Each structure stands twice: as structure tokens, then as C-alpha cells.
Chains A and B, each alone.
Chain A
Amino acid sequence: MKKILYKTAFLLIFFVTGTCTGMADTSFINLATTTSTDNSGLLDILLPAFEKDKAYEVKVISVGTGKALRLLREGDVDVVLVHARSAEDKLVADGYAVNRRDVMYNDFVLVGPDSDPANIRGTTDATNALSRIVASKSLFVSRGDTSGTHKKELQLWEQAGITPKGQWYREAGQGMGKVLQIAGELDAYTLTDRGTWLAYRNKVSLVIITEGDKRLFNPYGIIAANPARYPDANYDGAVALINWITSPAAQNMIGDFTIDGQRLFVPMHDPLQSTK
């Protein structure tokens, strides 16, 4: 009975996805990454170059950082590209993942309504800006989804010595683009990664209020599933991708990637200040 169930489930999945990946086909790499990386369009530049170079095909699963890390932990993907340093290190320490490498940086910006009810504009101190939001009881929309951006936000509240709670603090539990829309509709502040901000700034009635604080920098890492734990994982493919994305050629492509003339990500070997 159990066997039949397994078989039916397998066949179902097989037909629904409609692709004949096959468990042992090592020419495919499953990459889980954050919506921010995928939405920015960077992967559309990087991955075709990698695929041409190394004869692998990469399947991108674009989810929140929390789910991406979960997928890696369950062995459902071969490699992840995310931004949540402490959670990444924990996966490596717990033996689920190996070979973590820094790839690039981008930064977060605090955006809000042009009227700036909390009177923050001009401050570059991120925690001071947050304190002013609380003091003026202005609305703040949080991702609330344990994504990398949400973790960063919580870390900033902690550094500001504030427990975010109350009428003014709204936990949206959605992706960055949606949260920007919500903040725009509610005249609220929110913390966003610069990539998503650049993609959405013309669609929402918000402006950048604070940027440039060192605590707003955001490192991206790439990690492979541990082959000792998940022998089925395409470890060779994952390592090939990790080596390629940290190579000078790929790092240059990351540095050259712009949206509307603005550089989005700073490759690992570049000085941080050049985000501006």
C-alpha cells in the first residue's frame, strides 16, 4: 500500500512538473535563492553565462531566505544563494551545508512617505531613524516573514533598544515588492533592499529617507548541500557554480550590473563604499 502511494505521488510530481529531470541527472543544478536576487534580474545575466561556460543547467527556485535555507536543510536543492549570515553559518555548523563563500554585498535603505512625518530625513544613523519613527508613532510595515530583510530589520530594532510592538508596527508577512506597495498605500516607513527598491520606486509613492549606515550593508553568501548527508544532491554542480560565481569573470559581471545606471550589488572583492 505504502509503495503504491509513493509511486502515485512520484508519478504525479513527475507529470505535474512535466520535465524529465531524473534523480541522477547531474547536468541540472537546483538553486534556491531569495526573491530579491531573482527580481533584480542579476541571475538572468549570470546564469546563462555560467550555463554556457560549464555545460550545466540551473533551475532557480525563488523564495524567501527562510524557505530557501529550509529547502537546503531538507536536501531539496543543491545550492542556495541567500543573505542571512548567522542562519547560513548555523546550517554549516549543524552539518547540513558545506563550502560557504561570500559572493557580493548590497545595502538596505529606509524608505517612507515624502512628507516624512517622523522627521528623519538627513539622519544617516539607522537606529536613530527607527527611534524617531517610534517617537512620532508613524506607521512602519515589517516584512514579518523571517526573510533576510526581516532579520536585518529585527537586528536594527534590537540595536536601537526598541521592542517593535503596537498599533504603529504592522507585520505584513509578504515579499518585499508587496510590502513596498503596502507601505506606499498606508503612508508608512519600511526597510528594503536596494535592488527591490530600484525595481519598485516608480510604482510606489515613497522616497529614500535614510541610507549609507554601515549597519545597513547586506552580504550575500552561496552554500552547497552537504554531500555526506544528501548523496543525491548534485554536489559537483553546486561546487562548479560556487567556484564560477566567485571567479574574477563572474565578480566583474556582478560589479557591472546596473539598473537605471545604478549599481545594485558590490562584488566581494570591491570596497563597500562603492554602492553609492
Chain B
Amino acid sequence: MAQLLDTSRQALGLLFSGDPALWSIVSISFSVSLRAVLIATPVAFLLAFLLAHARFPGRRVLISTFNTLLALPAVVVGLTIYMLLSRNGPFGDLKLLFTQTGMVIGQIVLCFPLLVAFSHATLQAADQRAWETAVTLGAKPWQAMLTLMYEVRYGLIAAVTAAFGRIIAEVGSSMMIGGNILNYTRNITTAIALETSKGEFAQGIALGIILLLSALLLNFALSFMQARDDAAL
């Protein structure tokens, strides 16, 4: 117990020492995960909308597939993409292995099923009248779709938050695809894995605290927005 307290104290000291390597690691984490979420979200929302409101063969199979993919282990995604991007793999010429772009691809694959499954559930439960009203008022289908999405925005925001939470905290695919290269592909989680393997537990805890604090900030911001919205009503 004394060791854990001591390590946490050292960790807090490190956080406020303003180590530049530390901030490079933090910014890589956020830049990669934000890019992945930004790219995945519009496509996932559109697909979720179709799954919720369009009727086509194979729809149920698709829904079950995405629900199953929620259990996809990050290392399996990492390994698969590693083999695809490797020098001997089919996309080896793109030279994307051990780059941030490669990491973004891995994280898109990881968060996409989660975004689809959660936003599908939200859109499925949405009040149909918003759609009907919009169409009656002369909105084009895509405008009506946006209206419907706006009606259930909190559910959709929750889906994005959960997706972001999953990928910023994953270590398996970032380690395999990114390679944990300092100033290029070392993010918070791979750095924690590294510090642990070095026996530098304080560094690992410090990075863990940063990860949690930033998640906390994000959630505060979201609930603040929601509270302001509620007050305006």
C-alpha cells in the first residue's frame, strides 16, 4: 500500500514538471483518436440511420454483426491491420505501418461497430413524428434525417463519447500498428505499457491520471452543454 501511495505522489510530481516528451505523448493520443472518431462518426451515423429506418434484405444480419463486433479485441484488429499494411501485405506499398495514419485506421475499425450499434439503438427509439413533420414541411430526406438526428442528439453524443473512450484507452492496436515510436506513434497507453515494462511505475501512473483527467474534462463539457440546453427549454 505504501508503495502505491508513494508511486502516486511521484506521479503527481511528474505531471506538474512540464516534461515535453510527456506532452508529445498526450497530443499524439488525442490527435489520433480524434481523427479516428471524426472520420468514423458521419459514416457510422448514416449507416445506423439506414439500419433503423430503411428496410432491406440482410438488415438484421448487419445489426447482429455490428453488435457482435463490439466484442472485437483490439489486438486482433491490430494484428489484422498489421498484416495488411506490412511490407509483404497487400497494402505494403502505402508505407502506412508504424505511422499515425495506420493507428487512425486501426482505431476507426475499433470504434465503428460501437458507433453503429449505439447510434442505431438511439435512432431506432427516436420519435418518428420528427421525421414525418419535417417531410410534411417540405424537407428533403437528408434534411429530415438531420432533423431526426438533432432530436436524439444526446444519445448520439453518448455514442461518440463511448467510442472515443474506447479508442483513447486501447493499447493493443496502437502498439501493433503504431510501434510505440517516441514523437511519432507513442501515445498514452503504449507509453504506460512501456514504462511498466521498464519498471518505471510512477511514469505509468502519471500517464494513467492524464488519461482519466482528460476523459473527465470531456464528460464535464458534454454535461455542461446538456445542462445549458435544458435550461434554455
A117: shortest Cβ distance to chain B, in Å?
16
A residues 148-175 touching B (CB-CB < 8 Å): 170-174
Are the CB atoms of A69 and B98 closer together than 8 Å? no
B79: shortest Cβ distance to chain A, in Å?
12
Question: In the assembled complex, which residues on chain B have CB atoms less than 8 Å from the CB atom of A173?
Answer: 180-182, 186, 190-191, 194
Interface digits, A53-78 against B, CB 8 Å rule (1 contact, 0 not)? 00000000001101101110110000
CA distance A67 to B204 in the complex (A): 13
A18: shortest Cβ distance to chain B, in Å?
21
Interface digits, B136-167 against A, CB 8 Å rule (1 contact, 0 not)? 00000000000000000000000000000000
Are the CB atoms of B198 and A171 closer together than 8 Å? no
CA distance A248 to B191 in the complex (A): 43
Of the listed stretches A92-100, A180-188, A211-219, name the one at the interface; the rest are far from the partner chain. Answer: A180-188
Residue in A70, A73, A186 whose CB lies within 8 Å of B98: A186
Number of interface residues of A (CB under 8 A): 26
Interface: B65 (CB within 8 A): no
Question: In the assembled complex, which residues on chain B have CB atoms less than 8 Å from the CB atom of A145?
Answer: 194, 197-198
Interface: B184 (CB within 8 A): yes
Interface: B9 (CB within 8 A): no
Question: In the assembled complex, which residues on chain B have CB atoms less than 8 Å from the CB atom of A144?
Answer: 182, 194
Are the CB atoms of A66 and B98 closer together than 8 Å? no
Are the CB atoms of B197 and A63 closer together than 8 Å? yes
Interface: A146 (CB within 8 A): yes
Interface: A205 (CB within 8 A): yes
Known: A67-B196, A71-B199, A145-B198. A174 touches B87 (CB 8 A): no
Residue of B nearest to A204 (CB): B87
Are the CB atoms of B199 and A185 closer together than 8 Å? no
A187: shortest Cβ distance to chain B, in Å?
9
Interface digits, A212-240 against B, CB 8 Å rule (1 contact, 0 not)? 00000000000000000000000000000
Are the CB atoms of A69 and B97 closer together than 8 Å? no
Interface: B86 (CB within 8 A): yes
B residues 172-192 touching A (CB-CB < 8 Å): 175, 179-184, 186, 190-191
Interface: A178 (CB within 8 A): yes
A4: shortest Cβ distance to chain B, in Å?
13
CA distance A178 to B199 in the complex (A): 19
Question: In the assembled complex, which residues on chain A have CB atoms less than 8 Å from the CB atom of B97?
Answer: 185
Are the CB atoms of A170 and B184 closer together than 8 Å? yes
Question: In the assembled complex, which residues on chain B have CB atoms less than 8 Å from the CB atom of A74?
Answer: 3
Are the CB atoms of A174 and B175 closer together than 8 Å? yes
CA distance A2 to B180 in the complex (A): 38
B195: shortest Cβ distance to chain A, in Å?
9
Are the CB atoms of A205 and B87 closer together than 8 Å? yes
CA distance A81 to B44 in the complex (A): 51
Interface digits, B98-122 against A, CB 8 Å rule (1 contact, 0 not)? 1000000000000000000000000
B1, B87, B179, B196 — which one has the most chain A CB atoms within 10 A of its CB? B179
Residue in A63, A146, A172 whose CB lies within 8 Å of B179: A172
Residue of A nearest to B176 (CB): A178
Known: A173-B186, A185-B86, A185-B97. A146 touches B181 (CB 8 A): no
Question: In the assembled complex, which residues on chain B have CB atoms less than 8 Å from the CB atom of A146?
Answer: 198, 200
B223: shortest Cβ distance to chain A, in Å?
31
CA distance A179 to B90 in the complex (A): 22
Residue of A nearest to B88 (CB): A205
> What would 29 A/B residue contacts be, using CB atoms closer than 8 Å?
A64-B197, A66-B197, A66-B199, A67-B197, A70-B199, A70-B201, A73-B199, A141-B181, A144-B182, A144-B194, A145-B198, A146-B198, A146-B200, A170-B182, A171-B181, A171-B186, A172-B179, A172-B180, A172-B181, A173-B181, A173-B182, A174-B175, A174-B179, A174-B180, A174-B194, A182-B179, A185-B86, A185-B97, A186-B98
B residues sitting closer than 8 Å to A (CB atoms) are 1, 3, 86-87, 97-98, 175, 179-184, 186, 190-191, 194, 196-201
16 more contacts with CB within 8 A, not counting A145-B194, A174-B180, are A6-B1, A66-B198, A69-B199, A70-B199, A71-B199, A73-B199, A144-B182, A146-B200, A171-B183, A172-B180, A173-B186, A173-B194, A174-B175, A174-B179, A182-B179, A185-B87
A residues sitting closer than 8 Å to B (CB atoms) are 2, 6, 63-64, 66-67, 69-71, 73-74, 141, 144-146, 170-174, 178, 182, 184-186, 205
Closest 7 CB pairs of A and B: A70-B199, A171-B182, A66-B198, A173-B194, A67-B199, A173-B180, A146-B198
